[in-house]
Structure 1
C-alpha cells in the first residue's frame, strides 16, 4: 500500500511536499459507487486526496433541499476547508463510480505541515478555486434552464456506464434545484427525443452527443 500511495503522490507531483513519516501515516481507501465519504455535519478529522474515480459534492440548504455543488475528478482534495477552519464537514461527498482516495488524519497534518510553505500555498490555491466553483454552483439554478441542468446531471453521473438509478426522482429533482413534476416532464421529452430510455428504475443514456449539445457544456464539472 505504501508503494501505491507513493506512486499516486509522485504521479500528481506531490511526493516532495510531504515528509516520509507523514506519507507512512497515509491510508489508501476505496469506495464503491454511491458510498459516502463524508456527510454534512460530521466531525471533520481527515483530509482526502482524490486519486482515482469521481466524487459528487452536495449540500443541504436551510430549506431542506439538497443541491449539487460540484463533481470532482482526480486530482482533487476534500476536507481542506474544514481542516483550515476546524469545523465539521460543510458538504456531503459521495462516490459516483469506484473511487480511490488517500486519507490523512488532520492532527498529523497539523503537526507536520503547519509551517510548510508549499503546503500552505497549495491549500490557498485549492480553497480559492473551491470558493469560485461554489459561487458558480449557487448561481447555476438562476442561469440555466432545467433541461440544461438535467442533461448535465445525467452526463456527470455516467462517466463509465450509461445507466443511472432513477428510483428516487425526488432526490434527483432536489439535487438539480427543480420540482419532481418538472424533472419528469424534461425526462419524458428527452425520451421522446430518443436521447434516454427509462425502464425498471433506471435511466439509460442512448445519445450522449445530443445531451452534450443540450447541456452546452458539462456545467457541473
Structure 2
C-alpha cells in the first residue's frame, strides 16, 4: 500500500472537478483541508478492517469496490467508481472500520478529507459542512437504490 496520504496540495482544477456542485467560495474554503493521493493499478486505497478516518473523492481514474463473499477470502467487485465519486463517506458518520476494500483499476488520483478536518469545518463553517454532508447523503441514497434494484432483479 502507499504511504499515508501525501501532503501534496490539490490544484484548483482538481478541486473544481471534484466539488463542482459547491460555489467557488465554498471550494476555496474546503481547499485548505484537502490533500492528494495517487494510486497505481492494483494498489489498494484501503482494505476491510482498516480505520475509517478519511473521505476520498475520485478526481482521475477508476476504482473497484470489493466486498468479501463469505467463501473463505474470496471477494466480489460490487461497484466500479469513476470521477467525481466520493469514497469512504461512512468515515464521516462514525464508522470505526472499513467494510469494503477499494482498489485502483487504473492510474488514480484522489482528494483526501480527513474526518477530523470535517469536524473542524463543521465548527468553523457549519453551512458548508452541512452542504457537504447533504451531498454525500444524496449519493449514498442513490447507491442504496441502485443496490436494491440489482438485488430485486437477482431475486
Shorter-chain TM band: 0.7 to 0.9
Q: Which runs of 5+ in 1 are unaligned?
A: 144-221
CA distance in 2, matches of 1:138, 1:41: 25
CA distance in 1, matches of 2:94, 2:145: 18
CA distance in 2, matches of 1:75, 1:17: 17
* Correspondence for 1:82: 91
Please say if 1:47 is aligned against 2:60: no
CA distance in 2, matches of 1:69, 1:137: 11
Query: Could you tell me whether the CA contact under 8 Å between 1:113 and 1:119 is conserved in 2?
Result: no
User: Which has the higher relative contact order, 1 or 2, with Cα contacts under 8 A spaced 6 or more apart?
Assistant: 2
Compute the displacement of 1:87 (Å): 2.6
Of the three residues 37, 51, 54, the one matched with 2:45 is: 37
Compute the displacement of 1:82 (Å): 3.0
* Correspondence for 2:5: none
Aligned CA RMSD, in angstroms, stands at 2.3
- The 3 A distance-change label for structure 1 pair 45 and 60 is same
Query: Could you tell me whether the CA contact under 8 Å between 1:69 and 1:137 is conserved in 2?
Result: no
Of the three residues 57, 70, 95, the one matched with 1:62 is: 70
* Correspondence for 1:125: 138
CA deviation map 1:194-216 (0-9, x unaligned): xxxxxxxxxxxxxxxxxxxxxxx
TM-score normalized by structure 2?
0.78
Compute the displacement of 1:109 (Å): 0.9
Of the three residues 14, 23, 35, the one matched with 1:27 is: 35
CA deviation map 1:174-212 (0-9, x unaligned): xxxxxxxxxxxxxxxxxxxxxxxxxxxxxxxxxxxxxxx
Query: Could you tell me whether the CA contact under 8 Å between 1:47 and 1:83 is conserved in 2?
Result: yes
Q: Which runs of 5+ in 2 are unaligned?
A: 1-7
Please tell me whether Structure 1 or Structure 2 has the larger radius of gyration of its CA atoms: 1
Structure number with higher helix proportion: 1
Compute the displacement of 1:24 (Å): 1.8
- The 3 A distance-change label for structure 1 pair 96 and 137 is farther
Compute the displacement of 1:45 (Å): 1.1
